[in-house]
Amino acid sequence: MSSAPENPPAPPPPPDSVWKGLKDALRGTEADYTRIDLRRAILLLSVPMILELVMESTFAVVDIYFVGKLGASAVATVGLTETFLFLLYSVAMGLSMGVTAIVARRVGEKRPEDAAAAAVQAIGIGVLASVPFAGLGIFFAQDLLALMGADPWVIETVTGTPSGCLAATSRSCCSS
């Protein structure tokens, strides 16, 4: 005799209080956002992404603040490397949009195991998608910086020292 698998009980809707809802969104507590107003659900679901983007911008500003003490060429280097990071972020955001749609569909279908499987597969795809970027950074850091117009001091200093090796992951500095 076969029986259909039972669905786990649905999580409760987010709290009525906006501040409690934001606090729960930050914690990542499970809630059923299909049972509340659409505008409020979008706000609560957007909190993690908004915070990530704020932290990324803060990282860039703090980076430039400390590197600015080294001179204009060092600040230019940060600007050049931020361009490559933006390309990587673009790929990651595109992947995350697709994964979000798939996971949301599975959650809406009340199939949390399939949603979890899609999320795990997305992590694997993300790792694979990052390999070309890592290869470019490891093997072609000097060439990429030169292509973007970096001055010789930047190319030699950033990719020719052990700390630059960690920052730019250049093969030439790691092998010398």
Q: Cα separation of 103 and 84, whole Å? A: 28
Domain boundaries, the chain: 12-70, 71-176
For position 119, what pLDDT does the model report?
93
Predicted structure pTM score: 0.59
pLDDT of 168 strictly over 50: no
**154 in helix, strand or coil?**
helix
Q: If you average pLDDT over every residue of the chain, what do you get?
A: 78
Q: Cα separation of 97 and 103, whole Å? A: 10
The model's pLDDT over 88-97, given as tens digits with 9 standing for 90+, comes to 888 888 898 8
Query: Which whole-number Å values give the CA distances from 130 to 25, 32, 35, 71, 127, in the listed order?
Result: 28, 32, 37, 31, 5
Nearest to 144 by CA among 84, 64, 67: 84
The most confident of the ranges 7-11, 18-22, 43-47, 64-68 is 64-68
Q: Which amino acid is present at 172?
A: S
pLDDT above 70 coverage of the chain, percent: 80
